[in-house]
Amino acid sequence: MLRRRDAQRSFFDAQSVPHRVAEDSFYGRMGAVSDKLFRDDDLAEMYCPDNGRPSIPPSLMCGVLLLQFFDDVSDREAVERMVYDMRWKVALKLSLDFPGIDPSTLVVFRNRLARHGRERYAFDRLIEVGRAAGFIPEKVTLLIDTTSAKGAGAVQDSYTLLRKGIRKLLKTAGFHVAGKRHTLSARAQVLVSSYLDQDSKADIDWSDAEQRSAQLKVLVQDAEAALELTAEQMDDEEVRSVGWLLTKILGDDLEVDEEGKPKIAQGTAPDRIISITDTEMRHGRKSASQRFDGFKVSMATESENELILDINDMQAPGSDGQQLMPTIERVEQHAGVEVERVIVDGAYNSGDNLAACSEYRGRGVDVVTPFRRPKDPEVAKSAFDIDLESRIITCPQGHSVTGKPGRDRKGRDILKFTFARSMCASCPLFEACVRSKTSGRTVQTHAHEELLQKTRARQATPEYKEMYRTRSKVERKIGEVARHGIRDTRYLGGKKRQLQRLWTGAAVNLKRLFTLAQDKGCDLATVFAIPEQPGEAMMPA
C-alpha cells in the first residue's frame, strides 16, 4: 500500500542542525528541492490502493536511487549512506535518527519500476523540468555517440559454457530435487549427479592438447545426453529456452574434424554466446583495435544546454548508425521537442540514414557527419567524378565510361560502371586501382548516391567544420556518465540494464540542471516546482 512522504519536519532533521555540507554542492542543492523532485502519486499505480503494509514513500526511494547511481554505490552501501552520511541525509531531508531500510527494499523498488514500465520516470521528470524552465528549446540539435559497457556476467570459454549450460539445463528441468532422480536410469543419475552435486572444472592438464580434446568430447556427449533427458519437458518455456541456449553453444563454438571428433571452431560466430550468467552479452567493437565484451550505450545530448535527451542500452554487435533513427524518434516522443539537426561521427553516415533523415516526417532532419579518409584516396570511389544525370563516370586520370543500370542487394536501382581492362592497363595507378584479373576498374553507385555526394561536398565547407566541432561535447558527456558507473552493468536483463542507464543519465542531468539554473539566475524552488497534474512526459510510453 502506498505511503506518502510526511511533510512534517523532525527536530532531528539534518538540515535543522549545523553541518558541513555546502549549500552549492550537488547534495546541498538536491536537499533544497528534495520535496519537489518527485511526487508519490506519480507512482501510485505500482501499489495496492487499499491493502498491504505501507511502503517506503516512492518519492524517497526515487531520491535514494538517484543518489545511488550518482555516487555509483551498491545497495548495501546506499543504505549505509542513508544512515551515516551527512551528505545523503541533507540531500534526502532525512533526520539524524533515521533507522535506515533493508538493502532488499531497493531491489523490490527497481523490480516494481521495471514491472510497471516506469524505468523512465526520473529521466523524463527531469527533462520535463528542463522544458518547463526554458532550458530545452522547441527545436533541438542532437549530438549522438555510443560507448561500451561491460556485462554483468563473466566471459566464459567454450568448455565452461558447455559445463555451465548442462548444469543450468538440468537444474531448470528440476533434477536438483532429489525425489525426481529416483525415476532416472543409472546412467542418467550419474550425469545429473556429476553436474548438480558438484560444479568444478575438470582436473586435467589444460596445457595438454590431447587431454583438452578428450574433455571436450566428454562435454559434448554430456550435453547431448542432457538435451535428450529433458526432451519431454521442452513444452516448458524456461526449459526450452535453456535447451536452445545449450544447442546454440554447440553449434557456434564447435565443429567436427576429419576423424569425426568435436573441436573448437575457427573464427567467431556473429551472435556467439559468451556467458551463461548474462546470456545477452556479446563481443563488440568500437574500432578495429578496440574490442569489448558486453553492451553498447547510445547517448544523445542537446548541443546548447548539454542535457542528455536520450540514453539507451543496445547490443554490442552491429553499427552505431543503427540507432540514429530510433534515437531521433525517442527524443521527439519523450522530450516533446522537434529534432532539426543531428551531429554524428562517421559510423552514422550511411546512405540509408541520410535518406531516412531527409524524408523524416515530411520536414527532414539535417545530418552533419564526416566521411572517413580512404586508405588509398587517389583510387577510392570518392576520387571518381560521377555525373548521375548523364550516367558518366570519369576516373582520376581523365578516362570516362557510361554506366549501366543495375540493382543492389535490396533490389534498389543503382548504376554500375566498368572500365575496359585495356584502358586501365596503361594507367600508372593500375596496381593500386584494379583488383580484378579479367576486367578493368568497376565502380558501383549507392541507391542514395546523390545524398552521399552532397554530404561529402559539404564536409569541405567552413560551415560544416564549425558545426562538427561541437560534437566533442557529447564525448565529454560520455566521459562524465562513465565516472558515475555507466560502463559497469549492474543487473541482468534488458529492462534493468535500461533502468541503470536512464537513472544514471537522470542523476547527471540533475547536476546539469543545477548549473543551468545558477548560470541563468533562476530560483531552484521555482525551476523544480511540480505541476498540479503530471505532464505526458512523466507518463509511461
Q: Which pLDDT tens digit goes with each residue over 220-248?
A: 999 999 999 999 999 999 999 999 999 99
pLDDT given at position 539: 35
Same domain, 131 and 29: yes
Q: Residue 442: give the domain boundaries.
A: 381-450
Same domain, 359 and 390: no
pLDDT given at position 535: 41
CB 313 within 8 A of CB 494: yes
b/e map 413-427, b = 16+ CB within 10 Å: ebbebbbeeebbeeb
CB 180 within 8 A of CB 380: no
User: Does 326 reside within a domain?
Assistant: yes
The DSSP element (H or E) to which 263 belongs, if any, is strand 262-264
Domain final residue pick, 197, 229, 264: 264
Same domain, 351 and 385: no
Q: d(Cα 428, Cα 442) in Å, to the nearest integer?
A: 17
Same domain, 446 and 476: no
Cell 541563468: give the residue.
Answer: 520
User: Does 146 reside within a domain?
Assistant: no
Digit-coded pLDDT (tens) for 451-501:
999 999 999 999 999 999 999 999 999 999 999 999 999 999 999 999 999
Domain final residue pick, 232, 264, 296: 264
User: Does 8 reside within a domain?
Assistant: no
Q: d(Cα 193, Cα 176) in Å, to the nearest integer?
A: 9
**Among candidates 120, 149, 139, which has minimal Cα distance to 62?**
120
Backbone φ, ψ for residue 62 (5° rounding): -65, -40
User: Does 153 reside within a domain?
Assistant: no
User: Does 209 reside within a domain?
Assistant: yes
b/e map 4-36, b = 16+ CB within 10 Å: ebeeeeeeeebbeeeeebeeeebbbbbbbbbbb
Identify the band that residue 395 occupies on the pLDDT scale cut at 50, 70 and 90: very high
Strand partners, 385: 394
CB 55 within 8 A of CB 3: yes
Q: d(Cα 457, Cα 214) in Å, to the nearest integer?
A: 60
Q: d(Cα 250, Cα 262) in Å, to the nearest integer?
A: 10
User: Does 494 reside within a domain?
Assistant: no
Digit-coded pLDDT (tens) for 204-215:
999 999 999 999
**Among candidates 42, 48, 45, 85, which has minimal Cα distance to 62?**
42
Digit-coded pLDDT (tens) for 282-341:
999 877 778 899 999 999 999 999 999 999 999 999 889 999 999 999 999 999 999 999
Same domain, 130 and 69: yes
**Alpha helices (H) along 2-132:** 26-32, 34-37, 58-71, 75-84, 86-92, 103-115, 121-132
For the chain, what is the total number of helices (H) and then of strands (E)? Answer: 21, 14
Same domain, 386 and 364: no
CB 239 within 8 A of CB 173: yes
Strand partners, 401: 393
User: Does 272 reside within a domain?
Assistant: no
Same domain, 321 and 434: no
pLDDT given at position 532: 55
pLDDT given at position 531: 61
Q: d(Cα 410, Cα 416) in Å, to the nearest integer?
A: 15
Same domain, 219 and 352: no
Digit-coded pLDDT (tens) for 42-90:
999 999 888 888 889 999 999 999 999 999 999 999 999 999 999 999 9
pTM for the structure as a whole: 0.90
CB 289 within 8 A of CB 282: no
* pLDDT at residue 258 tops 90: no
29 alpha-carbon distance from chain centroid? 30
User: Does 152 reside within a domain?
Assistant: no
Identify the band that residue 11 occupies on the pLDDT scale cut at 50, 70 and 90: low
pLDDT given at position 517: 95
Question: Cα angle vertex 149, ends 143, 152, to 5°?
Answer: 150
Write out the three cell numbers for 400. Answer: 570516362
Digit-coded pLDDT (tens) for 117-128:
999 999 999 999
Cell 531500510: give the residue.
Answer: 101
* pLDDT at residue 537 tops 60: no
Q: d(Cα 470, Cα 177) in Å, to the nearest integer?
A: 61
Same domain, 23 and 98: yes
Write out the three cell numbers for 32. Answer: 533544497
Digit-coded pLDDT (tens) for 15-50:
777 788 999 999 999 999 998 999 999 999 999 888
The overall average pLDDT reported for the chain is 91
Same domain, 253 and 203: yes
Same domain, 110 and 166: no
Digit-coded pLDDT (tens) for 339-352:
999 999 999 989 99
Same domain, 32 and 58: yes
**Among candidates 78, 57, 58, which has minimal Cα distance to 69?**
78
Number of domains in the chain: 4
DSSP 318: S
